[in-house]
Amino acid sequence: MCGIAGYWARGRADKEIAAKMAAAMPHRGPDNQGVWLDDESGVALAHRRLSILDVSEHGNQPMPSHTGRFWISFNGEIYNFQQVKKDLGDGVHYKSGSDTEVMLAAFERWGVIRATERFNGMFAFAVWDREQRILYLARDRFGEKPVYYQLSSDTLLFGSELKALRAHPAFDSTKDPMALAEYFRNAYIPAPLSIYKNTRKLPVASLLVVRSTPNGLTADVVPYWSAEKTAAEGQQNRFRGTYEDAANELETLLKGIVQSRMVSDVPLGAFLSGGVDSSMVVAMMQAASTQPVKTFTIGFHDQDFNEAGYAKDVAKHLGTDHTELYVGEKELLGVVPMLSHMYDEPFADSSQIPTYLVSKVARSRVTVSLSGDAGDEFFAGYTRYWDTLAKWARLQRSPKLAREAAIMATKVWAGTLSATGLEKLGRQLPTPVDKALNPSKIRHKGEVWAIDSFDRLYLELTTFWQGNPSPVIGFDALDDIPWKPLKYRPELDLRFMMLADTMTYLPDDILVKVDRATMAVSLESRAPFLDPDLFRFVWTLPEEWLTRNNKGKLILRDVLFRYVPRQLIERPKCGFAVPAARWLRQELRDWAEDLLSERSLKSSGMLNIPLIRTRWQEHLDERVDWSAGLWATLMFQDWLRT
């Protein structure tokens, strides 16, 4: 795990500037920093190294291919590099045992794009082809590793984090209102957008191919794999065999995948929450290891958020070397001032706080930690899937005229009914709630009646900022923000949600959260579920093998129960949340009041101040829980100030 950075300028490259770009993110690679220049072309590659495979100096980067044609700055791990090495044959001499050297040999043999298609791993890299004078930036299939870039006619900047780009004197820091509006809808900024108007995130499973022309630098985004296409092919080529056959194949597949993620020349362990996904990963690790696997759990004194006891029971049953650390609100709140620097652009998934703390605990004993990320997206694990299906069924049963009348009524009643009347009305809507409501909430619930497609319903119900208007000036409604539907629409609504989350929420929220939190403490995180062969296999299975009685992960659970007793796993899902609603009214109130003051809100020139101030007061008065939207506002405001 490392950090990459660099640039291509029409002129001579400057080693000092490239070094500053790498030095802006020392946490991504504390073991070594390197810079290489192609002076004639104006190309600079920089690298920060966290040594994992072949920790000797032979693994340092930027690294050349054996002919010197290709130079690479690489972040990540290629899990099948030994197979790629075997496919290349005996004609290549290697100086190290690193996967980086094998990648370079593959570029020499097959070219950059064809070689990348063969790689199974998590990666982000920059490769300069000195012969063709082409610069390639690449990102892995599911988006575990980040790549930011900014392109003008005469300069390309790139890096693992925005910190690296900002270290270059040519960086354009103009903010993007559209990206900010998307942020308030999602709690993250989706690729290819970034908070900066002229900076982009490279999409997953893609290469950016950059060339120099008489008119300046030009770039093309070239996909090399497609989750949508793979999912469609899986649905067309269903698994042939019994449920037991599929469970056996899944077990064999997971064993091989987990073992490939355990290759390391430094200490390795795993995060363990005691849930299905992390328990499955740890069970496979322990089955493949002759020594107790090191596992790590964060516990909370507030039992509404605590799963540490479950993790401890699973660890005891599997015989792992378990580390459990209980943290209080002091430790949790202490992370808040670090978040803006850690995430580099507005990001409002509050589980970023415990994720950082468990990463810090793990880093005290290991350099690599495996996780259960992507189990929910691949195996239908989110409870919101069943909530959305139930709401859609309710909408489908309602006559059109009745829905139109309800929409009109909510608009009128929201401005005239008492709080008690509003609460009674709210329980009759497609999205009933038990908490106290205000007019804005009622109007939002009523607007759900107008939705006429399942896709739009799922978008609405996963929107972070509740109700219109948008908090960003220039966007009167959240519908002003374009919604990009999938090109491939599965026949089953559940499958649509799973695929949509795999392509959006997973890379832009979950994996961003984990990458920044682990890298902040120089810990490499690996997610075994993020394997293209596993993804392809799951999409060949019938839906009824994934779900039963509004509960997902059926086949995954049944495989896990071969290793862990059912009673240790079967319980309500807790999650990795924090009590943000209470914090904002109590422990964080002064911090929040400062950032949400009229003076502070004016600083960006982008926010709807009266709307935000009204919601802040309603939250303080405990009339409405606006904590989700307010947390997003605070993360933006704190980022702006930082």
Handedness of CA 392, 398, 400, 401 (dihedral sign): negative
Name residues whose C-beta falls within 8 Å of residue 442's C-beta, 6 or more positions apart in sequence: 410, 413, 414, 417, 422, 425, 426, 429
Within 10 A of 453 (CB to CB), how many other CB atoms are there? 10
Give the integer Cα–Cα distance in Å for 611 and 591. 19
| Residue bearing tokens 């930011």 | 148
DSSP 8-class letter at 170: T
Please give the structure tokens belonging to residue 457.
């319903």
* Ordered DSSP codes for 69-124: SEEEEEEEEETTHHHHHHHH-SS---SSS-HHHHHHHHHHHH-HHHHHHH--EEEE
Q: Measured between alpha carbons, how far is 322 from 269 in angstroms, rounded to an integer?
A: 10
User: Annotated catalytic, 574?
Assistant: no
CB 437 within 8 A of CB 413: no
Of the CA atoms within 13 Å of residue 119, those in its CB half-sphere come to: 31
Catalytic residue, chosen from 1, 2, 202, 308, is 2
Alpha helices in 462-608 (DSSP H): 493-503, 505, 511-519, 532-538, 554-560, 580-585, 589-595, 598-602
Please name which of 9, 130, 131 lies closest in space to residue 62, comparing C-alpha atoms: 130
Kindly report whether the peptide bond that precedes residue 62 is cis, defined as omega within 30 degrees of 0. Answer: yes
Question: 192: cis peptide before it, omega within 30°?
Answer: yes
Q: At what angle do helices 383-397 and 493-503 cross, to 10 degrees?
A: 130
Please list the residues that pair with 222 across neighbouring strands: 207
Burial pattern 96-135, b for ≥16 Cβ within 10 A else e, equals bbbbbbbbbbbbbbbebeebbebbbbbbbbbbbbbeeeeb
Among all chains, which residue has been given the structure tokens 């042939």? 240
Measured in degrees and rounded to the nearest 5, phi and psi for residue 74 equal -130, 135
Catalytic machinery residues: 2
